[in-house]
Amino acid sequence: MTATTIKFGTSGWRAIVADEFTVSNVRRAVNGIARYVAKKNAAGGRVIVGRDPRYMGERFVEIAAEILAAHGVTPLVAADPAPTPAISHEVIRAKADGAINFTASHNPPEYNGIKFSTPDGAPALPEVTGAIETLIASNGEAAHTAAAKAAAESIDPKPAYLARLKEIIDLPLLRTSGLKVVFDPLWGAARGYPDTLLREAGVPVATVHDTRDVLFGGHAPEPEGYLFGDMRQKMKEAGARIGIATDGDADRFGIVDEDGTFIQPNYVIAVLFDYLIETREWKNGVAKSVATTNMINALAEHYGVPLYETPVGFKYIGELIKQDKIAIGGEESAGLSIRYHVPEKDGIIAGLLCCEAVARRRKSMGAQIKDLFGKVGSFYPQRENFRLTPEVKAQFTGKLQSDPAELSGRKVKQVVRTDGLKLVFADGSWVCYRMSGTEPVVRVYAEARSERDLQELSAAARGWIGE
């Protein structure tokens, strides 16, 4: 039987439990990570082992701790489910040599996964995951004898992480503003994190889906608008002006406005970029993935700050945070982090900063977006996924290597290959095509300056796939 090939994608290795994500393959993956860390550290090193609330998470953590210890690497084990940003923060605080985090983030409940973070708390870069994949494939055993085993230590990343959030978020402002908040952790790892922080600060907060459910209510724990019916109802009951949510491991955010409108992540990133410049006066720069709204570009030009456009994958933005080149960096898939914070997506801080912006400005998120339109013009972004037959996928993959001069009569002004194929048109509208690395799906991102133009551009973008 051929062994499963374990590959770390944009955010770790993920697979279906009992299909490819088996005890045997988890052992192989962790063995590769343990060998990598042991080679880097003559004294063995220390690695945090954490998880989200998914099925079998406790057992996978036990297995990882055993394997790390066999390699002489001290496992620092988080007893309870912990958010990915809290684990990232603890890596930095404890000066650990990395972290193994068992999570499939926003994937459906039948999945689990492994994220590996490096000593800087950031997602491992391709050169690191490539080296680990080579070690996994070689399937070597522990270089240490049983006498060299390291004893596991128990840790709790929550207190230090919440203490850091208290330094970043203006909690006295939230308390005196009268703001009421509803929080939805979607049964995930952020349970008891932002709600505890707000409650202890005297800010009224109500919660929904605040129990462990390894099936996440029977759907993927993704912070999308269609899943927030219970949060909207709770907001009405509580008179809340904002609803904040996180995905399964709390590295992604979801925001619901006071009128029940789901706020696109693109707009959240733009609002918070503008808000941080206004309140913190951070003008060192901003970063966005190639598929994220050009409203960020317009705001960067408006404020005269450097803009960095990265491939999809937060590890690239994390590098810019580490280098203190940006005030904020974000992706349209609902991931962001800020200056002086972790170089990893943090859905918790995103929600809390939105609360702060609403409280300080005394304006809803929707009103703040309208203000941005008045400042830099209107932007209407959209993402669609299209499943392809094997024949169409093969044909379209080749087509992505071309440099089209036009798209349904729209002349292409610029071709960008930072990630996939991005076509920029003269009026500032654009389309970006990216193939999924795990399924026969093409992701089509589009943005126009009016809703009507977006509809026309979206139709043209869909049409080009099958031409």
Q: Could you tell me if 208 and 185 are in contact, meaning their C-beta atoms sit under 8 angstroms apart? A: no
Sign for the CA dihedral angle at 280, 286, 289, 292 comes to positive
Secondary structure (DSSP) of 52-115: -S-TTHHHHHHHHHHHHHHTTPEEEEESS---HHHHHHHHHHHT-S-EEEE--TTS-TTEEEEE
Place of tokens 């392809």: 388
pTM: 0.95
Residue 18 CB neighbour total at 10 angstroms: 12
What span, in angstroms and rounded, lies between the C-alpha atoms of 338 and 218? Answer: 33
Q: Write down all domains in the chain, each with its CATH number in brackets.
A: 13-156 (3.40.120.10), 161-375 (3.40.120.10), 380-466 (3.30.310.50)
Cα radius of gyration rounded to whole Å, the chain: 22
Q: How far is CA 52 from CA 267, 298, 416, in A?
A: 28, 37, 36
Q: Would you state the pLDDT for residue 147?
A: 46
Q: Would you state the pLDDT for residue 144?
A: 46
Q: Would you state the pLDDT for residue 145?
A: 44
Q: β-pairing, 262-263 with 253-257?
A: antiparallel
Q: pLDDT by residue for the chain (467 residues), tens digit each?
A: 568 899 998 789 999 999 999 999 999 999 999 999 999 998 889 999 999 999 999 999 999 999 999 999 999 999 999 999 999 999 999 999 999 999 999 999 999 999 999 999 999 999 999 999 999 999 765 444 444 688 999 999 999 999 999 999 999 999 999 999 999 999 999 999 999 999 999 999 999 999 999 999 999 999 999 999 999 999 999 999 999 999 999 999 999 999 999 999 999 999 999 999 999 999 999 999 999 999 999 999 999 999 999 999 999 999 999 999 999 999 999 999 999 999 999 999 999 999 999 999 999 999 999 999 999 999 999 999 999 998 888 889 888 998 999 998 899 999 999 999 999 999 899 999 999 866 788 999 999 999 999 999 999 999 999 76
Q: How far is CA 283 from CA 133, 168, 327, in A?
A: 39, 17, 7
Which one, of 251, 222, 273, 259, lies nearest residue 365 by Cα?
Answer: 259
Q: Would you state the pLDDT for residue 1?
A: 53
Q: Which two tokens stand for residue 319?
A: 């590098």
Residue-wise pLDDT for 17-54, tens only, equals: 999 999 999 999 999 999 999 999 988 899 999 999 99
Secondary structure (DSSP) of 304-365: T--EEEE-SSHHHHHHHHHTT--SEEEETTTEEEETTS-SS--HHHHHHHHHHHHHHHT--H
Helix axis angle for 365-376 and 295-303, nearest 10°, is 60
HSE-up (13 A, CA, CB side) for residue 284: 15
Distance of CA 295 to the CA centre of its chain: 20
Residue-wise pLDDT for 303-346, tens only, equals: 999 999 999 999 999 999 999 999 999 999 999 999 999 999 99
Helix axis angle for 347-361 and 265-280, nearest 10°, is 60
